[in-house]
């Protein structure tokens, strides 16, 4: 990949990382999560910082489901990840989408 290239990944139903190669910086600008139990965290190999908690749900409400609120929060964000600080889906019960650009 080169600076300006986009990436789109689905972090599957195993604990998995999105960790760029050494010297590469990526900006995660979208994360879609269905609201299960798996958190999306920032990770450096030993320490964690919550990014999206397990129960967070980021996609649009379903107008056919009376339980969905039309006032749900959307999580538009920009977070930089590198080879030393990256994102990790630490659970095994759901899939989480992440997308963004290589910026360095």
Q: What is the DSSP string of 28-70?
A: EEEEEEBSSS--EEEESSS-EEEEE-TT-B-SPP-TT-TTS-T
Tokens 């379903």 sit at which residue?
62
pLDDT-above-90 percentage for the chain: 46
- Cα–Cα nearest to 93, from 51, 55, 41: 55
Q: Is 100 helix (H, G, I), strand (E, B) or coil?
A: strand
Using an 8 Å Cβ cutoff, are 5 and 104 in contact? no
Domain residues for 82?
6-61+68-102
Q: What is the pLDDT of residues 32-60, one digit of tens each?
A: 888 789 999 999 999 999 888 888 877 76
If one counts the domains in the chain, the total is 1
CATH number of 93's domain: 2.60.120
pTM for the whole structure:
0.79
| Range of lowest pLDDT (5-19, 25-39, 46-60, 75-89) | 46-60
Q: Given this model, what pLDDT does residue 76 score? A: 64
Asked if pLDDT for residue 92 goes beyond 60, the answer is: yes
The whole-number pLDDT of residue 71 equals 55
* CA atoms of 28 and 80, how far apart (whole Å): 6
Please report whether residue 22 resides in a domain: yes
Q: What is the pLDDT of residue 82?
A: 95
Does residue 12 belong to any structural domain of this protein?
yes
Check residue 81 and give its pLDDT: 95
Residue 1 within any structural domain of the chain: no
Give which of 60, 13, 22, 15 is closest to 41, Cα–Cα.
Answer: 15
CA Rg value for the chain: 14
């Amino acid at each position: 990949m080169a600076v300006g290239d986009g990436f789109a990944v689905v972090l599957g139903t195993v604990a998995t990382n999105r960790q760029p190669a050494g010297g590469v910086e990526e900006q995660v600008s979208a994360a879609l999560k269905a609201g299960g139990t798996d958190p999306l965290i920032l990770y450096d190999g030993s320490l964690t910082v919550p990014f999206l908690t397990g129960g967070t749900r980021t996609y649009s409400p379903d107008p056919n489901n009376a339980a969905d609120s039309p006032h749900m929060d959307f999580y538009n964000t920009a977070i930089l990840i590198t080879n030393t600080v990256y994102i990790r889906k630490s659970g095994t019960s759901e899939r989480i989408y992440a997308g963004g650009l290589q910026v360095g």
